């Protein structure tokens, strides 16, 4: 598999995971989750039909949004403009991601302890770090607790999704997710509490997931990085392949 392809359409190449369904139609791959869906277009021959289909799928599933991830090799080249003409909007946070890969050992951060999340209680504590960083409202956290724990147990049963918690002393300050691919491991959802940044926490989470990729015999990390993460990953040995533009369709 071309590593640039993995960087451009990462979600389309993930191994099965609980709570997500992949559907292929109209030259697109739709990855539908519990609340939203991402759509990865390859070669869309009929844009109008593809938009109508994606909206129908999202509505049928009761989703809030379908977000189109338009890669640097996606056809047609003017797809973004045509999506805007159909009422989609550029995503604001962020509008663009960088498709990146790493095939060599990234640097370690020995002062940071990283542990694999092994129990539902540990996951509950670890994901609170993620919610704190992304400023998830308290009422939504309460609503998510039960469903998140249930989904965690399903993910463990599937075996393709892995979570890591980073610690400064006894304090949990970082969270990272890894999802297995056939030929590599995708990085998702890394978060570091603001007062713990600049100490190597993010670097330690990347290295822990690299070690996981090596242990399973697929020494390749793949990520679609936001504007905060991409410059850090540049310094850890990642290679940029291109940009993915995001367009959101609010249902």
Q: So where are the chain's domains?
A: 3-97+246-250, 113-219
- Per CATH, the homologous superfamily of domain 113-219 is Gcn5-related N-acetyltransferase (GNAT) (3.40.630.30)
In this predicted structure, what is the pLDDT of residue 207?
98
Whether 61 and 208 have beta carbons less than 8 Å apart is answered as: no
In this predicted structure, what is the pLDDT of residue 217?
98
* Cα–Cα distance, 160 to 168 (Å, whole number): 27
The pLDDT averaged over each successive group of 10 residues in the chain (251 residues) is 94 92 97 95 97 98 98 96 98 94 96 92 82 74 69 78 93 94 94 91 97 98 95 97 98 95
CB atoms within 10 A of CB 104: 12
In this predicted structure, what is the pLDDT of residue 155?
75
In this predicted structure, what is the pLDDT of residue 142?
67
Per DSSP, what are the bridge partners of residue 191? Answer: 175
In this predicted structure, what is the pLDDT of residue 131?
75
In 3D space, the residue among 184, 203, 231 whose CA is nearest the CA of residue 109 turns out to be: 203
């Amino acid at each position: 598999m071309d590593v640039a392809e993995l960087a451009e359409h990462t979600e389309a190449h993930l191994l099965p995971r609980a709570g997500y369904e992949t559907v292929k139609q109209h030259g697109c791959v739709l990855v539908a989750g519990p609340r939203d869906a991402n759509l990865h277009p390859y070669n869309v021959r009929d844009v109008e039909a593809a938009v109508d289909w994606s909206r129908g799928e999202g509505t049928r599933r009761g989703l809030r949004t379908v977000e189109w991830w338009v890669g640097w090799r996606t056809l047609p080249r003017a797809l973004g403009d045509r999506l805007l003409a159909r009422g989609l909007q550029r995503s604001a946070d962020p509008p663009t991601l960088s498709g990146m890969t790493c095939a060599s050992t990234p640097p370690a951060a020995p002062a940071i302890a990283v542990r694999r999340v092994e129990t539902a209680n540990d996951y509950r504590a670890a994901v609170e770090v993620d919610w704190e960083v992304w400023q998830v409202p308290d009422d939504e956290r309460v609503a998510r607790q039960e469903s998140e724990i249930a989904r965690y147990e399903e993910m463990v049963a599937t075996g393709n999704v892995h979570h890591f918690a980073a610690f400064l002393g006894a304090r949990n300050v970082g969270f990272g997710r890894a999802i297995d691919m056939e030929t590599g491991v995708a990085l998702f959802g890394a978060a570091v509490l603001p007062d713990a940044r600049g100490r190597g926490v993010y670097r330690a989470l990347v290295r822990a997931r690299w070690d996981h990729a090596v242990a399973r015999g697929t020494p390749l990390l793949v990520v679609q990085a936001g504007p905060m993460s991409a410059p850090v990953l540049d310094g850890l040995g990642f290679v940029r392949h291109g940009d993915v533009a995001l367009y959101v369709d609010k249902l």
